[in-house]
Each structure stands twice: as C-alpha cells, then as structure tokens.
Structure 1
C-alpha cells in the first residue's frame, strides 16, 4: 500500500486506467468552513462540476472491483450521492 498526499486532479492524470484498488478522498465540503480553501467556488453548481471532474477521473483509474470512500458534508450530501450513483455502485454509507 502506498499513500500519496497530493492534489488529486493534478496527480490522477498521471495514472493509467483501471490501476487503483482504493481511493479515499476528503475533498472540501464547500461553505462548511470559513477558510478560503472551502469557499473557492462561485456556488453549489460550480462546486459540483468540480467534484464531477474528480469522480470522472476516479472512475477512469479505479479497477473494476475497486472501492471509493468519499467524505462529504451534509449540506450537499444528497446531490453528491446522485452524482456517485451515476458512475458507481453505492454499496453502503458510513455516517
């Protein structure tokens, strides 16, 4: 197992398709914390478009039997679940 602390959208482009067994990601939740890193998008739609880019790359690099654990805030959890279900089989929630 190798842990790679990096900006996911910068690093993930270097990975080949179907090459990753597990992705654990904790992206900014957007408008939950007062810090700039959590408020860098113009609105919910911009944030969700950014997250969709991440999910597309996660789908590309995950092996068919791979797993994705994505942490998210409660405010946009339902929107994020809909996005997740468009690409992935959601097997469980950890609350």
Structure 2
C-alpha cells in the first residue's frame, strides 16, 4: 500500500525530476543521480517541512541540491561557433 508520503515523493519526482537531474548534473557532474536521490530522501523524511505550494516545493528541492563548491569544475557545454564576423 502506498502512503501519502510515498505518493507525494513520487509526484515530486514526476513533476520536477528531469529539471532536478539536469541542474544537479550541471552542479555536481557525475554524482547528480546520487544527489537527486538524497534530496528526495530528505524530502520524504522532512515531508512536513515541504512548502505546500508546487513552485515553493520546487524551489526547496533546488535549494537542497545546492550550488557549486569552490574548486568544483562545472560540466562544460560545447561553445557555439560564431557565424558572423564583427567588422
């Protein structure tokens, strides 16, 4: 039987999972999946602390992923080639 908390976490993953994973990849690189997993476990454990509004919960989840630490090299994306020359 699925509890309310499990249903909530499942809903958070379905709603925000792709964006969380993309952000975590930019911030934490290869550890992104582990970071998102840990954030969802934290949300499950602290379900009463989650903001009730959908976008506030999203902000809470992104805040839990964190920001790049000093010395951490973010994932780099290929640069676009310039097609126009400045005259």
Query: Given the two structures, how large is their TM-score scaled by the length of structure 2?
Result: 0.29
Higher radius of gyration, 1 or 2: 2
More helix by share: 2
Query: Given the two structures, how large is their TM-score scaled by the length of structure 1?
Result: 0.27
More strand by share: 1
Q: Bigger relative contact order, structure 1 or 2, given CA contacts below 8 A and separation 6+?
A: 1
